[in-house]
Amino acid sequence: GENVEQHPSTLSVQEGDSAVIKCTYSDSASNYFPWYKQELGKGPQLIIDIRSNVGEKKDQRIAVTLNKTAKHFSLHITETQPEDSAVYFCAASANAGKSTFGDGTTLTVKP
Amino acid sequence: DSGVTQTPKHLITATGQRVTLRCSPRSGDLSVYWYQQSLDQGLQFLIQYYNGEERAKGNILERFSAQQFPDLHSELNLSSLELGDSALYFCASSVVKGDTDTQYFGPGTRLTVL
């Protein structure tokens, strides 16, 4: 089955800096890659997603890039703010099948 | 607000007991997933239902069971509870668009087993 590895497990940045979280997947059939943000005590919230027919997608300060050949995708957050502090999960799925999640990255943005 | 509701929000019970967690999916979503998240852990997939039928099974213990009803709400039953079952339990519902399946998570039920 699919295996998703996420790095780093923790990330601390200064407010205003950029943050990058990387994920690799094993199943070449995977074609959908969502990213979730989980704030303390809440459920994961979808923040951005990308499909395999697209190499990059941007939404304001958040962007996701996908390299199908290398089987990895990354989340980029620019101009980080304290409210970006949360746990971020990547996921991968193939043909509307169930998603496999990474283990999460705890992002801390220091004011 | 994702549109997925879960009840109760908190549940405290004793070892050996049985509890039922409830999930109502977003309007129109046919799929419901259940996940367990222990302290500082990732999301462990338990089980998926689609339109009343079990579709996929993950690391779900035999003491746990789930079902999805005709109105599409789902229940997760946990029995013979152990201390290690203390965790956050999330359900997610999804909408299939073409060949992708986007999941939307509920706020979770925090289970504490004493």
A88 touches chain B (CB under 8 A): no
* Confidence category of residue B78, pLDDT binned at 50, 70, 90: very high
* Amino acid A99: pLDDT: 87
Q: What percent of chain B has pLDDT over 70?
A: 100
- Are B43 and A96 a contacting pair at CB < 8 A? no
Does A2 have pLDDT greater than 90? no
Question: Mean pLDDT across the stretch A97-102?
Answer: 88
Does B111 have pLDDT greater than 90? yes
For every residue of chain B, DSSP letters joined together read --S-EEE-SEEEE-TT--EEEEEEPPTT--EEEEEEE-TT---EEEEEEETTEEEEE-S--TTEEEEE-TTS-EEEEE-S--GGG-EEEEEEEEEEETTEEEEEE---EEEEE-
- Are A96 and B98 a contacting pair at CB < 8 A? yes
* Amino acid B42: pLDDT: 86
From A31, A43, A93, residue closest to B105, measured CB to CB = A43
From A89, A93, A100, residue closest to B101, measured CB to CB = A93
Number of A to B CB contacts under 8 A, please give it.
61
Does B4 have pLDDT greater than 80? yes
- Are B101 and A43 a contacting pair at CB < 8 A? no
Does A75 have pLDDT greater than 80? yes
Q: What percent of chain B has pLDDT over 90?
A: 83
- Write out pLDDT tens, residues A45-64: 999 999 988 899 999 999 99
- Are A95 and B99 a contacting pair at CB < 8 A? yes
Does B22 have pLDDT greater than 80? yes
